[in-house]
Amino acid sequence: MMEITICGRGGQGGVTLAKIIASAYFLKGKYVQAFGVYAAERSGAPIQAFARVDDNEITNHNQVQNPDYLIVLDRTLIVPGMDATLKNGGSIIVNTPDDNTDYKGLFPGREVATIDATSIAVSNGLGTRTVPIVNTTMAGAVARVLDLSLMDLLAGLEHLNFAGTNKTCAREAYKMVRSQKIPGEIVKPPEVTSKPRVADLFDDDVGGMPKIKTGSWATRKPERRQLTPPCNHVCPAGNDVQGFVAAVGKENYDKALGIILETSPLPAICGRVCPAPCMETCNRAEYDTSVNVREIERAAAELGVRTAPNRSSRQEKVAVVGSGPAGLSTAYQLAKLGYP
């Protein structure tokens, strides 16, 4: 029988990882188990999950005490002696950007496999930068260490309705995981001879809430980024499409017209003749239909009031060769700068 213990944090998908492993072996005709143990059920709290695989029916439904494999989803959970219950010849799989050799002092004599599952998951958009979901990525690394074929793993993922990016991350981890036996002898924990101390009634911890260590999660924060909307990105005139559409939505036609006039001299004409690539890339099309930007631009031009510019004039004269859209836009921008 093969037994696996998974140590992770709430939100990383540790229990689901156990189910993925079990599912892959179940489809190969094995008997399997997969279950988790929960304590304080909140994001970032330590959790454990277990999996068993055997050729015969499994009758033991207790937690795994002596695993063949120890999977660690968050390196901040690693403590000295963590491998004490691991069977001889057992392996450890760690989600970490560190190299295998960084664990010489912690796991001497053990086979240690490392994979930076967090970076892979974040780069592929699984979870968030603060709470990345690494289960399907780690599944790829685990499958490689367990000599489970990539096809069997992908079948297990499909069985649990994982597809797309989850498969991509699993494939990437399957190729990138590195395993190495750490030099040294396996250190057995010393036997405890003294009786444990009985807590006093006036101890600070008596009756208090359990302390929950959330590792590095407490030091991370989300990064808000303002990306260029696809409609703005493809506009050949460089219009702030999102800006004037929002202004029209608030019935502020003067503001909408002012936004358009920053980049386009003839909004009423543009709203009639432009091929509107902004409408082709509109995200709204995935929901129902694209925003009718042309009609909105025409409405802003017809309902908005153009304010007279107050600019200082220049003495230099500039000639623009060409009367097409580019030439008109160039002349318009020069006029805004005060050139006659």
Per the CB < 8 A criterion, the answer to whether 38 and 47 are in contact is yes
Query: Is residue 153 a part of any domain in this protein?
Result: yes
pLDDT tens, position by position, 29-44: 999 999 998 765 567 7
Is the distance from CB of 56 to CB of 13 less than 8 angstroms?
no
Q: Pick left, alpha or beta for residue 125 (phi over 0 → left; psi -120 to 50 → alpha; otherwise beta).
A: left
Domain assignment present for 216: no
pLDDT tens digits, 139-155: 999 999 999 999 999 99
Same domain, 12 and 71: yes
Q: Does residue 258 form part of some domain? A: yes
- Name the amino acid, one letter, at 174: Y
Residue 173 CA neighbour count, 13 Å, CB half: 37
What percentage of residues in the chain have a pLDDT greater than 70? Answer: 87
Question: Are both 36 and 150 inside the same structural domain?
Answer: yes
Do 20 and 123 lie in one domain? The reply is yes
Residue 192 has pLDDT above 70, yes or no: no
Q: Give which of 303, 302, 335, 292 is closest to 317, Cα–Cα.
A: 335
DSSP-assigned letters across all residues of 256-289: HHHHHHTT-S-HHHHHHH---HHHHS-GGGGTS-
pLDDT digits (tens, 9 = 90+) for 325-338: 778 888 888 888 88
pLDDT tens-digit series, residues 91-107: 999 999 877 666 667 78
What average pLDDT does the chain have? 86
Q: Which residue in this structure is represented by tokens 């981890």? A: 173
Give yes or no for a contact between 153 and 244, defined as CB atoms under 8 angstroms apart.
Answer: no
CATH number at residue 247: 1.10.1060.10
CA distance 299 to 302: 5
Instruction: Give the tens place of pLDDT for each residue, 279-292.
Output: 999 988 888 899 99
47, 113: one domain? yes
